[in-house]
Amino acid sequence: AADWRIYFSQMRPVQSLNSSEFIISHIQGDLHSISPSAGFSGFKAGETKVLLIRADFWQLSEVDAMPNYYLVAPNLQPVVIASTQLQQDPETGLEVRPYMVAFTDEERQFKRSPEDNLPWAKANVIYERNQDTPDNAELAADSLLPTPLHQELLPEQAPVDLKKGISPVFIGTQRAPVAAALARLARLGVREDAAGVALELVSDPSLASEGYRLDIAAGAIKISAAGAAGFSYGLSSLASLLDPDSLQVSAMRIRDEPHYGFRGLHLDLARNFHSKQLLLKLIDAMAAYKLNRLHLHLADDEGWRLEIDGLPELTDIGSKRCHDLAEDSCLLPQLGSGPDPDSAVNGFLSMADYVELLQFAAVRQIQVIPSMDMPGHSRAAIKAMEARYRRLLAKGDSKGATEYRLLDPEDKTQYSSVQYYNDNTLNVCLESTFHFVDKVIDEVTKLHQSAGVPLQLYHIGADETAGAWLESPACEALLAADSSIGDKQHLGAYFIERVSTMLASKGITPAGWSDGLGHVRADRMPAKVQSNSWDLLSHQGHRVAHRQANLGWQLVLSTPEVLYFDFPYEADPKEHGYYWGARQNNSRHLFNFMTDNLPANAEQWTDIENRPYSADDRSTAGEQVSEPLRPENRMAGIQGQIWSETLRSDELVEYMAFPRLLMLAERAWHKPDWQVPYQYQGAIYNADSGFFSAELKLAQAQDWYRIANLLGHKELKKLDLAGIGYRIPTVGARISEGRLY
C-alpha cells in the first residue's frame, strides 16, 4: 500500500533522510510523519528498511526519542508501533521501562560540542566524586531539614517520649488552623490523649509571621508562634525531628524563621497531565519541608487543564491529544503522546478538583498560583476557541462565534515558536482576546472564592512570544487608532501591561516570566508585580533579576542551571530530562547555590560550553546592563520548575522532583553561614575553583556532609513511608512501588 503514514514526535527539526523512498513532513510542534514518496518500491514480505534521520541540534539523551510512533492507513484504527511499555527485567524481576534509543557511540554522542567540559557521569565518576562524604548517621542526629535559624540541643535533659501520645493545649490560638499539621503527627503514630505529653501552642505576636519557637524539655513541648503558619512549621519540625521507630524526640530549643518568604515549586500540568493524587502527595511533601507556593502551569500549547465554567471546549478539546487532524475533538498528538485519547497524559482538573486542591494546600500554608501561559504558548486555547467558533457558526450564531475568538483570520504573519508551532500565539489586537482572558480570570477567581482561598497572584506566563501578529490587519487598525501603544514591536508588551492592569484592578497581583516582563514599560505596570527570572546565569541572567528587582518587583529566582527539575541530575545519555540549559542539576549542586551572592558583574564567566562570555550574548530578556542589586531590593525567593514535556507519568515527576525538592527547601528556608561567592563555570558550580577561602570551603563541605547523611539515613525513609518515588544516585535508576524505571 502507498497511502499510509507513520506519525511520530521528534522535538528536533529534521534536516534530511537517507532514502528517496520516503518523505518526512513536519506537522506542528514536534509532530512529524513518514510517508512513502513516488519512488517507494514497497515492502517484500519480511523486508526491513532502515531510515537514518539527521536532525538539528544535539541528540544526546534518552528524551530525544519520543515513544508511540503510530501507523495510520485506510481501514485501520491508528495503531501504535513503538512504545515504552513496562517489561519485566529478567535479572531483577522488577518492572522496567526500556529506553527507546540504543546509544551506539556514547563517548562521542555525549558532548554537545568539543568544548563541552562536563565529565560523563559514569558510575565511577559519581563514586569518586562522593568519596569525600562520610557515611555517618551521627552527623545527622537531631538535625532538621530545612535547617533552622537557631538550634540548641539540651543533652542534659532526657528525650521526650511521645509513645503515650500528646495532649494539645491552645493558648491564644485554636486547633482548626493547625489541624493538618497535627494530623501529620497522628500519621506517625502520635495519638492525642489527655494523659499524653503536654503540647502547648502559645500565641506570641512578637514573632515573625512564619517564625516559631519550639521548646522540647522537661517532659513537655511548647510551640510559640504569631499565627497559623508559624504553628504549622513548629509542628512540622517536631514531626521531622521525631524518631519514627522510638517516637522519641531529643530535648532542644529551636528559634526559626525562613530566609525567603517565597519558597516555590512549579508543576507543568499542561504538557502532560498529572493526577490529582500526585498533586496531593506533592503538596503534602512541600508542607513537610516548609515550601509555601505552588505555581500550577495549567495551560500551554499542548493542553488546557482546568475546567472553566461557560467555556467547555477548553477542556473538551484542549485537554486531550488524539489522531484528529482537524482538531475538532482533540489536539494533535505531541510529546510522544500517541493517538490514544484515553492515555494518562490527557486529562484536566474539574472545578471541584481545583477547589479541593486549593483547600488542601491552604491548610498546609501553601498558596496556589494558577497560570495559563499567554500570549505565546497558547495553542490549546486557540484551537479550542476555533472549534467553538466553527460550532457556533454552524448553528447560525455568528455573534456568539466571535465572542471569545483568539485569532485574526486575516493575519498573514509567518512565525515559528521555540517549540516549532506556527499557530500558538493569541492575537493581542482583538477585544475578543481580552474578553477571553477576563472571563478565564473571573472564573478562576470564583473558584478561589468558593474554596474560601482568595486569588492573590495570577501568573500570565508571557514567555517566549515569537513574532506573531506582525501582518495582522486587526493590529494595524489598533495601532492606527491608539497611538499610545507604540509600534508593532510593542504589542507583546501592550498585552502584558493591559492584562496586568486588569488583574491589579481586581485586586490580584500579576506575575510573569522575566523575558516577557523584560519588554514592558515599567511605568505602565501596576506597582506590585512578580517576576520569575529564568535567565541563564551563563548568559549573565542575574543582571535581569537585579534590574527587575530594582524596579521594586518581587523577584523569584527560577534559574535553569540549578532550579529546572526537568533537567537531568547527571550528565549521562540515559539520564532523563531536557538539557538545553544544564546537564547536571543534582542535589549537591543545588545545595551549593548561593542565591544571595550573584555577582554584580562577572566578566570572568564562561558559558555553558566553557567558552568565555561574549558581549554579543544576550540574556533571554535582551539585557546588557550590569546593575548590582540595591540592598533594599532583596530577592523574594526561589522556585523549582518541573516542566513536563518529557514526563509522561506521575512516577517520572516524582523521580525528577525528589530528592531535589528537599534541597530546594533547604536553600529557600535557610541562609547558611558559609556564604561563598557564586562562581559559574561550564554548567557546573565549581566548588574546587580555589575562588574562596579554605575555611568557607570546609564549612560548606561539612554542612553538606550533614545534609547528605540526613538524606541517606532519614529523609529518604520518610519519602518511602509517604509512598513517594525518588531518584537514587545511580544513573537512570528510580524506584517507585517496586518498579525500576
- Residue 457, SS3? strand
Q: Which residues pair with 249 in a beta bridge?
A: 160
- Residues between 329 and 348 that touch ligand NAG (CB under 6 A): none
Choose which of 418, 600, 698, 721 interacts with ligand NAG (CB under 6 A). Answer: 418
Q: Distance of CA 30 to CAs 66, 568, 638, Å?
A: 10, 21, 31
Q: What x/- string results for residues 661 through 680 when contact with ligand NAG is judged by CB under 6 A?
A: --------------------
Choice from 212, 273, 513, 692 touching ligand NAG (CB under 6 A):
513
CA distance 188 to 168: 16
- Distance CA(255)–CA(349), nearest Å, equals 39
Selecting among 200, 464, 471, 476, the annotated active-site residue is 464
If one counts every other C-beta atom within 10 angstroms of the C-beta of residue 187, the result is 12
Q: Which of 307, 566, 575, 623 binds ligand NAG (CB under 6 A)?
A: 566
Phi, psi of 170 (to 5 degrees): -105, 120
Name the residue nearer to ligand NAG (CB basis): 494 or 534.
534
Cα–Cα distance between 279 and 282 in angstroms, integer? Answer: 5
From the CB of 637, what's the least distance to ligand NAG, in Å? 17
The pattern of x and - marking residues 514 through 543 that bind ligand NAG according to CB under 6 A reads --------------------x---------
For the CB of residue 608, give the shortest distance to ligand NAG in the complex, in Å. 14
471 lies in the binding site for ligand NAG (CB under 6 A): no
Select 584 or 700, whichever has its Cβ closest to ligand NAG: 584
Nearest approach, Cβ of residue 647 and ligand NAG (Å) = 10
Q: Residue 88 to residues 77, 96, 316, 527, 574: CA-CA distances in angstroms?
A: 28, 6, 36, 57, 19
Please pick, from the candidates 257, 327, 386, 463, the single residue that binds ligand NAG as defined by CB under 6 A: 463
| Residue 569 engages ligand NAG in binding (rule: CB under 6 A) | no
Q: How many residues bind ligand NAG (CB under 6 A)?
A: 10
* Beta carbon nearer to ligand NAG, 249 or 270: 270
3-state secondary structure of 466: coil
The C-alpha atoms of residue 80 and residue 351 are separated, in whole angstroms, by: 33
What residues pair up with 684 in beta bridges, in sequence order?
A: 681
Q: Per CB under 6 A, does 578 bind ligand NAG? A: yes
Locate 38 and state its grid cell: 513516488
Q: What angle do CA 34, 38, 41 make, to 5 degrees?
A: 85
Question: Does 645 interact with ligand NAG (rule: CB under 6 A)?
Answer: yes
Least separation in angstroms between CB 535 and ligand NAG: 10
Largest CA distance in the chain: 87
Closer to ligand NAG by Cβ: residue 233 or 513: 513
Residue with Cβ nearer ligand NAG (84 or 272): 272
Nearest residue relative to ligand NAG (C-beta): 643
Cα(491)–Cα(489) distance, integer angstroms: 6
* Residue 464 contacts ligand NAG per CB under 6 A: yes
Q: Which residues of 376-386 are buried (b: 16+ CB within 10 A; e: fewer)?
A: bbbbbbbbbbb
Q: Is 421 in the site for ligand NAG (CB under 6 A)?
A: no
If phi over 0 gives left and psi between -120 and 50 gives alpha, with beta otherwise, what is residue 168?
beta
- Site for ligand NAG (CB under 6 A): which residue of 643, 669, 674, 704? 643
Q: Which residues, in sequence order, are CB contacts of 631 under 8 Å at separation 6+?
A: none
Residue found by looking up cell 555553558 in the block: 608
Catalytic: 327?
A: no
**Residue type, position 741, single letter:** Y
Return the number of other C-beta atoms located less than 10 Å from residue 456's C-beta: 12
Task: Return the number of the residue (354 or 578) whose C-beta is nearest ligand NAG.
Answer: 578
Q: How far is the CB of 577 from ligand NAG (least distance, A)?
A: 9
Report the nearest approach of ligand NAG to the CB of residue 379 (Å): 12
Measured from the CB of residue 270, what is the shortest distance to ligand NAG in angstroms?
A: 9
Q: What is the nearest approach in angstroms of ligand NAG to the Cβ of residue 268?
A: 6
Q: Tell whether the torsion through CA atoms of 712, 718, 721 and 722 is positive or negative.
A: negative
- Residues 509, 287, 165, CA angle at the centre, nearest 5°? 145
Residue 430 has what DSSP assignment?
-
Cell of 311: 467555556
Between 370 and 672, whose beta carbon lies closer to ligand NAG? Answer: 370
Question: Out of 70, 273, 564, 591, which residue is the one contacting ligand NAG (CB under 6 A)?
Answer: 564
- Complex with ligand NAG: residue 348 or 513, whichever CB lies closer: 513
The catalytic residues are: 464
Q: Which residues bind ligand NAG (CB under 6 A)?
A: 418, 463-464, 513, 534, 564, 566, 578, 643, 645
